[in-house]
Structures are given as structure tokens and as C-alpha cells.
Amino acid sequence: MIASRRQLLALGAAGLTATLLSGCETLEQRLTQARLPGNALPPPNLPFHSPAARVLNRAAYGPRPGDLAHVMSIGIPAYVAEQLAPEALTEEPILTLRVRSLTDTLNPDTGTLFDEDDHRVVEALRQVTLLRAVYSRKQLSERMVEFWTDHFNIYAFKGLGPQLKVVDDHATIRSHALGKFRDLLGASARSAAMLGYLDNTANRKGIPNENYARELMELHTLGVHGGYTQRDVKEVARCFSGWTFENHWHRGRFRFDPEAHDNGPKRVLGISIPAGGGVHDGERVLDVLASHPATAGHLARKLCVHFLGEASDRWTKRLAKIFRDSDGDIKPMLLALLTSDDLLTAKPILKRPLDFTVSGLRALNADTDGSLSVQGHLESMGQALFAWPMPDGFPEAAHFWTGALIPRWNFALALSGNALENTRLDLPALSEAGKKAALTPHNTLLELAFGCSSADPALAGLRALAHGYPDLAEYTAVVLMSPAFQWR
């Protein structure tokens, strides 16, 4: 008999996994993928992360074997400083080789990109994104790439989006992820992918299109309560009229069309912009928005939610001041936040599907190429990369993600059972490494997954399950499916 959703929740990890692993029917045949109640995945009651593991779960996508020892040996401040200087970090050869194998498809020359199939281009971009998240030593940079990708969200399947998003990912997001916000904002404003996605290519003198102007203020800078009016939206749209991109030779390159620009005088947020400014009208707007106090508060609040799990008023004010004092430099904001005691005591944050997937691959030292087998599971969990259609980016709120638990369990079962094409685990090698610390294979898995001693009281329930799941692959699935592993 198929268990009801309520019965499954009552069973907990042990009974649930027994249900899933029994019989010859597939998981999809035994259970229907219905949305579960918002409280189906309660956060852990006890803090079980060591300080080093907490930082690795927030500043990185969780620890790989050896990462915890590295952080503990140099200390958290030194690790954060190391991550804030990614140019000094050398990538692992496996990442360099696998990314290089995709360069033909992801050639930044958009002329070449347009010869590729749309879906193949997005698949390759997703593959590179996953590879970097799993293998890169520049973990904080990858975290911020995800953060800014959501902040400046672009749906990759609109118009010329598949090809243009590849360029945007490199030239806008990755090039400025740890730099000054004004530089990032300016790169986004000139990004052909953004201009096409938010219809600024249709914004012309006499027939303004307000889509980009509205999202620029509501999402990218001031925030929904940032004090702008509909009149400001109209005036900003006028400032950006004529901002478009080449669609023939040098396809995708930014182009300002003076014939389409409204060159009359304008007034934005109480600031006069004189007539005749041409392309500088838009640049002036970007200067005003990047330095506005509401922008500092909006970005500070989003960083608090992303790294602390809540919009702390105290930290929002502190980070906003750092933003203003540093002329919008992201690094000092992150340095203050990631080296604070509050980060170590902050409430748990639910892992979004990308975080859950990558942290599992990293903890178990998986060998993966990030191709369709992994991407398909991400899509079933609800986070197909570059495919969020609205301009606000994938939600951070936990309640949005707690309704799709069965796809997470499917991934855990597939990964632990070595059923993912081009992705492999070597569980015997992991358990053998644990012997040096006198750990059983099961306890080795616990310490790799949670970054703390397997004797931690918070892991007592999972320790007890070891007797019921002597098979290491099944126990690995239990650990990844456990409620505790869903939180960071």
C-alpha cells in the first residue's frame, strides 16, 4: 500500500527510506509528487555545525574533503580573506579541463554562439555553472555569482537569450561579482541579454517602453519601497531610450541609437538631467541610483537574507553604511558579515535545490561533469538554471521550496546508488579515509555531510540509523534525505 503524505512525514527518515527502498516499484510509481505542507521540513532544533562548517556552508557550497581542516588550520578570518582575493587562487586541473572542453559551445564571440542550438547553449552554460560550483576553489565568488544572477535575473529562453546570456554571465556577473556595485550595474545596463529580456530594445523616443526602467529601480537598485514614483519610471525610461544592441554585424554588442533617443530635459528623483545628454542620460541615472541611500539599504537587506537567513535591521544598517562609505564596494560588506559571530549563531537556512545538489556532490567528493543527468534533477526540484521567467530571480524564502521534497529524495537515491550518468561516488575510498581518524564508514559519512563530529548530539538520530542500514549506499541516501541535510 502506498503511504500517505502525512504518514510519510510521521515516519521520519528511517521509516521513509525503508518505504522508498522496499519493493520493486520505482519511487515515481509509489508516490505522487504533491506539494507538501510548508512545515514539512522543520529546521534542526540544535546547532550542529562547527564554526568552520558554518562558514563553509554560507560562504561556500559546503565543504569538500579537506576543506574543514584547511579552514580550521588558518582560521575563519584568513579563509574569508582568501576567498575575497580569488585572483590568487589556482583552480583544480579537473575543473580547468572540463570547462575548457565546453569552450567551443560557449565561445564569447556571439557570432559563433549564434551557430549553436539554443538548448545546447543553455545546457552547456548550466554545465559550466555546476562544474564551477562543485569544483572551484573560488567558492565565495561562485556564491556571489548565484546571488547576482538572481538579482539581475534574465530568463534565458526569451528571444536571443540563450546566446546573449552566455555573454552576460561572463562579462556582467562573473567579471563584477566581487567588485563595486556601480560597475556591475553599468555592465548589466549595457548587457544585450538584459536589454532584450526587459524590452529596452523597444524603448524609443515617443513610444517609451518602461519595463527596464521599472525593474532597474524596483529590483536592481532602490527596492519596491525606495521612494520612486511612476513619474520617475517614465523619466528613467526616457533616459534609456535608444539603448539597444547590434542584431546583424557584431551581433549582441551594445549600441546606442541617437535617432531613437529622447534628448529632451528630464528629472529623476528630484535631480534635473539637462537636454542633449544622449547616452550620458542613462549613465547619469545609473550614478544617481547606485549612490542612493535606498539602494544601499536594499542590497544590504538582500545580503543579510542570503547569508544570515533574515533581514536583520542591525546588520542591514551596518552593511548599508559600509556600502556608502566604500563607494559601493561589495568586498568590505562581505568581510564584515562573514567574519561576524552573528553568522555562527544565525538561524538555519533551507538549501535551495542548487545548494542541496552541489553540497551533496561536494561532501561526497563526487566525480561529475554536471551534464544532463544532474541538470534534470535540478529541474525536477524546481530550479532549472537560467529558467526563472520573472525578473525577480529564484525565491529565497524556505516555504517556496518545501513542497518539492520527493525530487530531492530521488536525487539522493540516484547519487548514492551511482545511477547518475557521468557522475560517480567512490564510497569505499571515503570510508577508507575515515579509518585514519578511527571512524566507522557510517560516521565518516556523517562528518563529511555535516562538518562536525559524528558524536554531536544533534546527529544522534542519524547515528542510530546506521544499524538499520548497514549498506553504505543506502545509508548515504538516508543522510542526504535527512531533514538536517536540507539546511545550512
So what's the pLDDT on residue 47? Answer: 63
pLDDT digits (tens, 9 = 90+) for 328-355: 999 999 999 999 999 999 999 999 999 9
* Secondary element (H or E) of residue 187: helix 181-189
Residue appearing with cell numbers 547515528: 463
Can you tell me the mean pLDDT for 77-89? 98
Under 8 Å between Cβ of 406 and 30? no
- pLDDT-above-70 percentage for the chain: 91
| Cβ atoms of 334 and 84 closer than 8 Å | yes
Question: What value does the mean pLDDT of the chain take?
Answer: 90
Q: Which DSSP state fits 169?
A: I
Residue 65 has pLDDT above 50, yes or no: yes
Q: Provide the grid cell at 129.
A: 555553472
Mean pLDDT of 161-176: 96
252-274 average pLDDT score: 97
Residue 8, pLDDT above cutoff 70: no
Ranking 8-12, 173-177, 285-289, 422-426 by mean pLDDT, the lowest is 8-12
Give domain limits for the chain. 5-65+350-389+399-486, 78-290
Question: Which one, of 90, 100, 57, lies nearest residue 355 by Cα?
Answer: 57
**DSSP per-residue string spanning 197-242:** HTTGGG-BTTB---HHHHHIIIIISS-TTSS--HHHHHHHHHHTTT
Task: Please check whether residue 358 is in contact with residue 103, taking contact to mean a CB–CB distance below 8 angstroms.
Answer: no
Nearest to 52 by CA among 70, 79, 71: 71
pLDDT, tens digit, 9 for 90 and up, residues 340-398: 999 999 999 999 999 999 999 999 999 999 999 999 999 999 999 999 999 999 999 99
Average confidence (pLDDT) over 409-415: 96
Residue 272 has pLDDT above 90, yes or no: yes
Look at 31-45, 145-159, 371-385 and tell me which has the smallest mean pLDDT: 31-45
Quick one: DSSP state of residue 34?
A: P
Whether the per-residue pLDDT at 276 is higher than 50: the answer is yes
Averaged pLDDT for residues 209-228 = 98
Residue 27 is predicted with a pLDDT of 34
Q: Which pLDDT band holds residue 237 (cuts at 50, 70, 90)?
A: very high
CA dihedral of residues 126, 376, 380, 412 (deg, nearest 10): -110
Cβ contact 49:68 at 8 Å: no
Give the residue from 125, 174, 123, 136 showing the smallest Cα distance to 362. Answer: 136
* pTM of the complete model beyond 0.85: yes
Please tell me the predicted confidence (pLDDT) of residue 226: 96
Indicate if the pLDDT at residue 240 is higher than 90.
Answer: yes
Q: What is the mean pLDDT of residues 134-143?
A: 98
